Amino acid sequence: MLKTNHIIDTILFASRDIIVISDAEQQILQVNTAFENYFSNPPDDSLRMMLADLLVNDSDNEKNFQNTLASYQDWEGEVMVKNNENKISKMFACCRWTDDEVSGEKSCITIFWKQQYDVQQYDKLTALPNYFLFLDRIEQALIAAPRTNKSVALLMIGLDHFARINDGLGHDIGDKVLIAIAGRLSDAIRRSDTVARFEGDKFGLVMQITTVEDSVLVAEKILKVLNNAFIIDDQSISITASIGISISPDDTLDRDELVKNTESAMRHLKKLGGNHYQFFSREMNQKAKTRIDMENKLRHALKNKEFVVYYQPKVNLENNAVVGAEALVRWLDPEKGLIPPGDFIPVAEEAGLIGDIGEFVLLTACQENSLWYKNGLNPARISVNVTASQFSDKNLVKKVQSALTQTQLPPHLLELEITESSLIGDMEKVIEKLQIFRDMGIHISIDDFGTGYSSLSYLSRFPITTLKIDRAFINGMETDAKTAEITSAIIGLSRGLSLEVVAEGAESIEHVNLLRKQGCDLVQGFFFSRPVPANEFEVILGQGYLYDS
């Protein structure tokens, strides 16, 4: 009789389906031949990957996949799998946990297979062709166009900030908007062209064109038809979109590459603010590659605990006392050294990793501050940044509560910094959430104040404690009288609303003196101190003051 191990090896070798065995943390332990064929990865490289690295990680289903596995439950469903050349395939995944009989160690066995037979071709919500049919239409266009001396233009239409509609107005309204958009897009194109729902808030359009200008005209038309407000359940909803465009044969002959290029053009545009169209370029391709690379590295960084929290002191201008600090995350990459948050937070946000990073920062800041407090240092209020997606996370309240309980930090020594642009959507809900934090005793500040578009009428209703004047206004106040007027006005506004006011980015004695004259409460900036590691901040806190002369 064959030994069990030998039987298992034979099954792994013979299976056409991809089989991956991972450990309790979902790091890959073993893969089979089908995996190696699909990923063209040397087995050793695969073993350093996480199960999640195999997925596109763009959909709710995939988030659900990860969350379920994180709690050691079995899962099955559809996922988008990407190989190391970023070729994407929709596959069915079935994950099962098992415990080792002897050691009790958990392993997860995941089998991926392509479900070619029963893939439906139309999107259930909008009745437009779905991703699969769309890929097929692109393929057909690529074959047909050269016969009539035409080119193929692929447009990817990404709705800007669609999550705000879903989060703010609810998924029902979100769905109705998507259906209405599908209708307008279908009306805007020729019958010979195909418009499809790619996934979520992304639509695709493939058409045969004679000149590149044809695609510009269509992109402009689409932006125009979307710009007319949608009236859904008596609410007027405005939508803008980012349209990426890629042309074959100019950019590539390959279908999957064409899709990838179009998507990177769209993403690039979204970062610039959206509501426009943009053609793919080689340089963009390089950027997209770097981004994917960083996404993978960020996942490892989380696992390897490569993030550290720095603290930048906040100083009371009346007596120069250090009253708190802002917790600012840094990534200590083993190869590149210290990476500033501006370089990775946006990627982390897009990759859905900001929640984990944010939780780490929150917990670390609470832990360290609690220790300083218990050791008898002057009580300091430490602020932690919360991005828009973190703020809309349903579990944020629980996470904050749990950090406070775990670390026994008095709640009034914690502050959440929320940017103006996060406080949008359903205002009543926003206010309710802020109130929960206030009721817990936590301070709330509006970060980068003056750069967003908060409505002053809401400002008086937001249960907040602090305004943080954006660095842009401080930088320039010493030379430009109008800029100084703005800081003075924000300080006056804070007074009127009984809010504390903090100036961020004070770099010189001139800044500090002007801000003091204007009646600003607190200052945070390089003039007093750069963000420093915890041990250095502890020394500053022990000394109690930072001097300005």
Closest CA relative to residue 529, chosen from 324, 342, 341, 378? 324
Residue 415 in contact with Mg ion, rule: CB under 5 A: no
CB 47 within 8 A of CB 23: no
- Residue type (1 letter), 283: E
Q: Which of 42, 342, 376, 496 binds ligand C2E (CB under 6 A)?
A: 342
Closer residue to ligand C2E (CB): 71 or 479: 479
**Within 39-58, which residues bind Mg ion (CB under 5 A)?**
none
Give me 47's structure tokens.
Answer: 């073993």
**Which of Mg ion, ligand C2E, none has residue 312 at its interface (CB below 5 to 8 Å by kind)?**
ligand C2E
Contact flag: residue 355 with ligand C2E (CB under 6 A): no
531 binds ligand C2E (CB under 6 A): yes
Q: Which of 329, 404, 477, 491 binds ligand C2E (CB under 6 A)?
A: 329
- 3-class secondary structure, 271: helix
- Is residue 139 within 8 Å of 129, Cβ to Cβ? no
x-or-dash string of contact with Mg ion, 503-532, rule CB under 5 A: -x----------------------------
Q: Of 423-452, which residues contact Mg ion (CB under 5 A)?
A: 447-448
**Which residue from 285, 250, 248 is spatially nearest to 267, judged by alpha carbons?**
285
Is the previous residue joined to 249 through a cis bond, with omega within 30 degrees of 0? Answer: yes
Torsion angle defined by CA atoms of residues 371, 411, 506 and 468, in that order, rounded to the nearest 10 degrees: 160
> Which of Mg ion, ligand C2E, none does residue 205 bind (CB under 5 to 8 Å by kind)?
none
Q: Collapsing DSSP states into helix, strand and coil, what is residue 242?
A: strand
Q: How far is the CB of 423 from Mg ion (least distance, A)?
A: 14
Residues 297-316 interacting with ligand C2E (rule: CB under 6 A): 312
204 binds ligand C2E (CB under 6 A): no
Distances, alpha carbon 214 to alpha carbons 42, 203, 208, 389, in Å: 45, 19, 9, 37
Residue 324: name its binding partner from ligand C2E, Mg ion, none (Cβ under 5 to 8 Å by kind): none
Q: Does 341 bind ligand C2E (CB under 6 A)?
A: yes
List helix spans (H) across 275-420: 282-303, 341-350, 354-374, 388-392, 396-407
Of 264 and 445, nearer to ligand C2E (C-beta) is 445
> What would you report as the CA-atom Rg of the chain, rounded to the nearest whole angstrom?
27
- Helix count (H) and strand count (E) of the chain? 20, 22
Candidates 169-177, 213-221, 277-285, 336-344: pick the segment binding ligand C2E (CB under 6 A). 336-344
Residues binding ligand C2E (CB under 6 A): 312, 328-329, 340-342, 345, 358, 361, 385, 387, 417, 447-448, 471, 504-507, 524-526, 531
Binding site for Mg ion (CB under 5 A): 385, 417, 447-448, 504
